[in-house]
Amino acid sequence: MRTGAAARAGQYAALVAYLVFLAFPFLWLVSTAFKPPRELGSLHPTWIPHDPTLANFRQAFDEQPLLRAALNSLVAALGAAVVAVLIATPMAYVIARRRTLLARAATGWVVVSQAFPFVLVIIPLFLVLKNLRLIDSVPGLVMVYVVWALPFALWMLVGYVRAVPVQLEEAAAVDGAGRLRTLVSVTAPLLAPGVVATALFAFVTAWNEFFFALVLLKTPEKQTLPVVLTHFIGAEGVADLGPLAAAACLATLPSLVVFAVIQRRITSGMLAGAVKS
């Protein structure tokens, strides 16, 4: 009994330490965003600002077009998430249900493609977008994000499709339901949590992406939020720390909010699927 209690206590301690490790950067970022300049330059930094201020947020909005950049990021992230899910879902269903050599080869290629570095694919993507006249455009950036997110999205959805018992589809077929009716009424509700989770992954990946946006977008009015954040760093590498922290907080919030909202939907969808099955 004592050994089991000690093991559980050790697990809880490790979990708390891990959560503190993950939360530390964000908590320090929020603290920095509300500190006045004299506290930012202090030799004895504190967790909680002694004299919290919103001046950093006002300065950040005055210096850079954060709202326009956030809108560009939102359009690119939502577009990438929707298109990637629409393409990956039927592909994942075919790969999961058709255990053929071609399906296994496609799955292997998905895994291998995740090892490709950004630099390896940026030149071919740049040439393709140049021929399509989509350089320096948000739709072109969406296309790149879809290409980059599609392999992992497909990999995730294949796992979710395989988790749906094929016996349910066979039972629906015995009851007289056609293929389309089976997919809509049986498979889709059980697959919904996986689709939502995959869309969340694609959205967060596109929202936080920096390299492709930096290379492909040159017009200031079209730049995304991660690129605009670099404008708070001077030519000599000196950062305007307060406004940068404030802008970074605003850039982080949408991902946290989207995850908090969708997490409930994922849980409720999984429970609904369990009841239906």
**Domain shared by 206 and 221, yes or no:** yes
Mean pLDDT by 10 residues, the chain (277 residues): 67 78 82 85 78 88 91 93 91 80 71 71 84 89 90 84 80 73 77 85 89 89 91 72 88 79 57 41
Distance CA 19, CA 94 (A): 38
pLDDT of the residue at 273: 40
**Domain shared by 100 and 182, yes or no:** yes
**CATH number of the domain enclosing 253:** 1.10.3720.10
pLDDT of the residue at 237: 61
**Domain shared by 35 and 66, yes or no:** no
pLDDT of the residue at 79: 94
pLDDT of the residue at 275: 41
**Domain shared by 105 and 176, yes or no:** yes
**Domain shared by 83 and 117, yes or no:** yes
Distance CA 186, CA 277 (A): 9
**Domain shared by 129 and 218, yes or no:** yes
**Domain shared by 30 and 164, yes or no:** no
Helix and strand totals (H; E) in the chain: 13, 0
pLDDT of the residue at 43: 73
pLDDT of the residue at 70: 92
Residue listed under structure tokens 């006002």: 58
Distance CA 35, CA 244 (A): 12
**Domain shared by 226 and 105, yes or no:** yes
pLDDT of the residue at 277: 40
pLDDT of the residue at 192: 83
Residues 6+ apart with CB under 8 A from 72: 138, 222, 223, 224, 225
Domain count, the chain: 2
**Domain shared by 118 and 251, yes or no:** yes
**Domain shared by 77 and 49, yes or no:** no
Residues 6+ apart with CB under 8 A from 124: none
pLDDT of the residue at 9: 76
User: 138-163 and 101-113 helices cross at what angle (nearest 10)?
Assistant: 130
**Domain shared by 24 and 80, yes or no:** no
Q: Under a CB-based contact definition with an 8 Å cutoff, are residues 224 and 213 in contact?
A: yes
Q: Which domain holds residue 155?
A: 59-276
